Every structure is written in structure tokens, then in C-alpha cells.
Structure 1
């Protein structure tokens, strides 16, 4: 049986279904938590908050701002966010490390390998320190 809403607006139904599936993936932590492109930093901050189970109100308290301010920032995916603000949010979320890579720019040759090697080195250092 096809839901009534799908019959009326199949495009909207499919979009909502995709958004719910994405939300469920985020809650399960099925996304790269260590690396993000500059273009996706804002949505990544939202994903990190959701994954950690932190409400907008709790994040607002940690940042010393109002919940409506967090809501507004998230509604616009933290558009034009400053490095300082991003760092404050990451700290409030308890994120110690996040690698931000260029957005629309083309990656230099070997960059992916360099990034992977950097992650492996960091993991090795953590094991040795722990």
C-alpha cells in the first residue's frame, strides 16, 4: 500500500524519507567524524551534535548563548562561520580533533595518501601514549 502523502507528492515523500535515513545514519555515527571539507563544516557540526546526543539547549548553555541563536546558526548551516566560533563549538561538543580540508578546490596530487598517513600516525601516537 502506498502512503497517501507519496501519492500526492512523491518528490516530497522521497526527500523526507532520505532526510530521515540520513538522520538515522548520523545518530548511529555512520559518518567521518575526523575529516570534513570546508564547504560542509556547518552541517558537520550539526551532525556531531546529534551524534553526541547534545540538544541545542545544552549546546547553547555550553557556549553561553541562547538556544534560539544555536537554532538560527544551525538553520543556516553555520554559514560564514569563523575559525574561532567553530573551535568554540567543537570544544563545547568535546571534539578534540577535526581535519578540515579545502572545499571546492582541487586536491593536490597525493593529498589523499597524505591525509591517510596523517591519521595513521595520530592513531599510532595515541596507542603509544595510552
Structure 2
């Protein structure tokens, strides 16, 4: 999952490189490099698969930034870190802006997100959720977006 603009830019560059590599494979006539056709096809398949994964991550991040994000989709506590990250992105906040709103350093938010909030106390998670207008509720309705 892409968690910030820096990761988005890196992923975009990687996807572009994979696309160029794939195009290079497809422009070469079969057998031009003396490689067995099955090996050549395996290379194309591997690069295509990696490119598809990167493009899916890019589409997900772009959709979240545009607001296509369902808070109600959270069903398990394990989903909470991704929910917080996606909510931050959907609200148009950078890690720095979230940190500023909470009176923290940007690096602290980066650490929380890099570790999927494993090092954060429950009180801090609730604080992040509050800043992001997410109410953490009962087991019947684990979360809801505040209006």
C-alpha cells in the first residue's frame, strides 16, 4: 500500500521502468538474443505481473486521494492501520499536516505508518482517528466517519 506522495512518486517511476522494459521485450524479434522462447515469455510474464501490481497500487492511491474511500469497510482491528492511512490520504492531509494537527513531528507519523501503528498506544490511535474524523465505536459498528 502506498502511504504518501514520496512512495507514490517512487512507485510511479518503478512502473514506468517496468513498462519500458516490457516494451523493449515486445519490440525484439523472437530469438533475436538467442534465448529460448519459453524463457523469453517467462520474462515478459514476470515483468507484466510486476507492472500490474504496481499499477493497482497506483490506482488505489489515486482513488483514495479523490475520495473513493469507504470507512464502513473496516471489519477487523487488523484493518485499522490501513484505515487510518487511507483516511489521511482521502482527507488530503500529508504526514506532516497530520503531525502538525497533533503537535507531533512528521517523523513520528512516518514511523507509525511504516509500522502500521504497531508502536502506537491505543490513546494515540484514538487521537489520530479523531483528527481524521473517524469515530472508533463498538464491535457492532467498529468505525464511522464523523460528519
TM interval, short-chain normalised: 0.5 to 0.7
- Which segment is superposed worse, 62-71 or 45-54? 62-71
Larger radius of gyration: 2
Q: Which residue of 1 aligns with 2:8?
A: none
Distance 2:56 2:87 in 1: 19
| Runs of 5+ unmatched residues, structure 1 | 102-113, 120-125
Distance 2:79 2:138 in 1: 9
CA RMSD of aligned residues (A): 2.7
Conserved? CA contact 2:19–2:51, under 8 Å: no
CA shift for structure 1 position 67: 0.6
Distance 1:100 1:13 in 2: 40
| Runs of 5+ unmatched residues, structure 2 | 1-17, 26-43
Q: Does 1:53 align with 2:69?
A: no
State the aligned residue count.
103
Q: Which residue of 1 aligns with 2:49?
A: 11
- Equivalent in 94, 107, 114 of residue 68 of structure 1: 107
CA shift for structure 1 position 75: 1.4
- Higher relative contact order, chain-length normalized (CA < 8 Å, sep 6+): 1
CA shift for structure 1 position 92: 1.9
Structure 1 length as normaliser, TM-score? 0.65
Distance 1:100 1:41 in 2: 14
Structure 2 length as normaliser, TM-score? 0.58
